[in-house]
Amino acid sequence: MKSLSDRERRDWLRLARTQTVGPVTFAALLARFGSAAAALEAIPRLAQRGGAKLRIPSIAEADQELGTLARLGGRFVASCEPDFPPGLGALDPPPPLIAVLGDLDLLPREMVAIVGARNASALGRRFAATLANEIGQSGLIVASGLARGIDTAAHQAALPTGTCAVLADGVDVVYPAENTALYAQICAEGAVVSEMPMGESPQARHFPRRNRIISGLSRGVVIVEAAENSGSLITARFALEQGREVFAVPGSPLDPRARGANHLIREGATLIESADDVVAALRPILGRQFEEPPDPGRAVEGGPVEIPEREADGLRARILQLLAPSPADMDELIRDLGSSVASVAAVLLELELAGRAQRHPGNRFSLT
């Protein structure tokens, strides 16, 4: 763990905001080149070899985003820094940076997420508020997504004890607009977190990333009301993948808003009826280190490699033939190709940066 200098933080931000560089590719680039600065220097050439021209944010653009957040009283926290939330730091991979407004000291504290339906029933909102209040009184921070319905009720009830709102847009953008006053209260008394660029409006593809952070921050996720195929169930799925506890509040089988939570209970989620049920289940693990993620795959030894262009062209064509929309393990690709780890890794990285291949956790790759 180390604190970044201002220049290093700017490099991290530029790399994180580079086209086609998501958290997985960011982690691979750092492992390969050793620093964000070295990666920024190398990736235009690598992307060109992969068949595309890559746009990297300029120094001025990064400075503008850093300055905008600073003027609002916030800061970017990188995954390598000591004040990065421990739950997020244990993810495979963590978000490279998060923007934080409000009380940064809340983030290392133990959290429980409460999420659910936007069109929640009055009874569901009342139960979520009671749950959030009592969980907060037990000393835990309540995390949620600032959506209307269950999220709003949970945030409002947890304001006196501490709440963290995770956004699917820029940390300076309020969505939905009806929660503007609540957003201002959380900025003043709690914490607001996002990995999206400043000023970014909410888009459908951003919400799974937001949900991954909600569960990642938390020891457990409580689903109060959720329809089938809802975003709350995506949060529950992330929680299971991350080794977090999943709790669900049962509901009437006649209410469509209860089907998701009831399904989770049938699949093994812990049925809860009160905050005591949640706290009792989590008490044995509170204060422990978060479980480390599974080994994402071996790093390529020897740092960056350059292979002859003719060899790279041939290997690139063979890799594109082998890849499919379903992810394949890198070790399987290496066996099928009969090439060295370093050569395959180099060409896969070029294809990633060109937007032709996608890297998944665990060193798996699919065709974009």
**Is residue 74 located within the same domain as residue 60?**
yes
For residue 199, the model assigns a pLDDT of 96
Q: How many Cβ atoms from other residues are within 10 Å of residue 253's Cβ?
A: 9
* DSSP helix, strand, coil percent of the chain (3-state; round to 5): 50, 15, 40
**Is residue 43 located within the same domain as residue 65?**
yes
Provide the H-helix boundaries in 177-225.
Answer: 180-189, 206-217
β-strand partners of 245? 220
The Cα 150–Cα 166 span in angstroms is 14
**Is residue 183 located within the same domain as residue 259?**
yes
The Cα 61–Cα 194 span in angstroms is 18
**Is residue 110 located within the same domain as residue 138?**
yes
- Quote the percentage of the chain above a pLDDT of 70: 95
**Is 293 contained in some domain?**
no
**Is 258 contained in some domain?**
yes
**Is residue 50 located within the same domain as residue 174?**
no
Up-side HSE of residue 95: CA atoms within 13 Å toward CB?
30
- Out of 80, 101, 122, a domain closes at 101
**Is residue 272 located within the same domain as residue 123?**
yes
**Is residue 141 located within the same domain as residue 168?**
yes
pTM of the predicted structure, to 2 decimals: 0.89
Range with lowest mean pLDDT among 32-41, 297-306, 323-332: 297-306
**Is 294 contained in some domain?**
no
- Report how far apart, in Å, the C-alpha atoms of 61 and of each of 8, 16, 38 are: 15, 13, 19
**Is residue 333 located within the same domain as residue 184?**
no
**Domain span including residue 329:** 309-367
Into how many domains does the chain fold?
3
| pLDDT tens figures, 137-147 | 999 999 999 99
Average pLDDT rounded to a whole number, residues 173-197: 97
| pLDDT tens figures, 217-270 | 999 999 999 988 889 999 999 999 999 999 999 999 989 999 999 999 999 999
**Is residue 97 located within the same domain as residue 130?**
no
**Is 43 contained in some domain?**
yes
- Out of 50, 85, 101, a domain closes at 101
The Cα 22–Cα 264 span in angstroms is 30
Q: How many Cβ atoms from other residues are within 10 Å of residue 24's Cβ?
A: 19
